[in-house]
Homo-oligomer: A and B are copies of this chain.
């Protein structure tokens, strides 16, 4: 049925869409697309206004949905991206889920169970702050399950995303790509700035020792699970203002391509009279 597939996804210039042969090390996290900070901020305002207008129509149409998946290494900017891109949408049409360590009940189910429960319903924008990809990332790096288990998950993830796109959900997957030096600077800022202390987790220093293992795990997840229906987008993310702009532009372009419409009026509606 035309229009029921979640497609098409439109990636903004500056983003690298993962295709066969992709190598994460080839993406420059410092890329800025030729923008300076002031230009990027002005352009972001335009994209946010587009997202807000299109969201209203998506919500009114109530037929399809958008799922935005955000992954990054610690301090990569997931929270900041959500705030910059989506602050301004009507919260009634937007549900953000931050996935943390799974509960005992969640661990008693298949690994996709807790994510499936939170996918956006018709008319909604859903945001996954971390996602089902954690089960081939942190789970792999920490060796929480045997290799044959996490390796099999790439196919299960592709099957799961195929179900969603076939049911009217467009999936936008962003990997926010920062350098190891940038992570150091951001961790130091969280240690030094009292207003950022609450974001600092000493465990991040331990995780940083596994930097290379995480990069390898991200690289495999991106290439194994970038499908035509639900491709991965790698966002150069050392410069927050460029990261925000290209994510916002991709969200706006994708919503525009979905072209949500106010539903047609029920027949005879305009003949109705409202009694006193």
Contacts and interface: CB of A to CB of B under 8 A. Distances in A.
Interface in A82-96: 82-83, 86-92, 94-96
Contacts of A129: 92
B197 A272 contact: no
Q: Give the number of times this chain occurs in the complex, counting copies.
A: 2
Interface stretch (A37-45, A155-163, A183-191, A235-243): A183-191
28 contacts: A52-B87, A60-B198, A60-B199, A79-B92, A82-B90, A82-B91, A82-B92, A83-B92, A87-B88, A87-B90, A91-B94, A91-B127, A92-B127, A92-B129, A187-B274, A192-B270, A194-B262, A194-B265, A195-B262, A197-B264, A197-B266, A202-B266, A202-B269, A202-B272, A205-B272, A205-B274, A208-B275, A209-B275
A263 interface: yes
Interface of A: 52, 60-62, 79, 82-83, 86-92, 94-96, 98, 127, 129, 180, 184, 187-188, 191-192, 194-195, 197-200, 202, 205, 208-209, 262-266, 269-270, 272, 274-276
Nearest to A271: B191
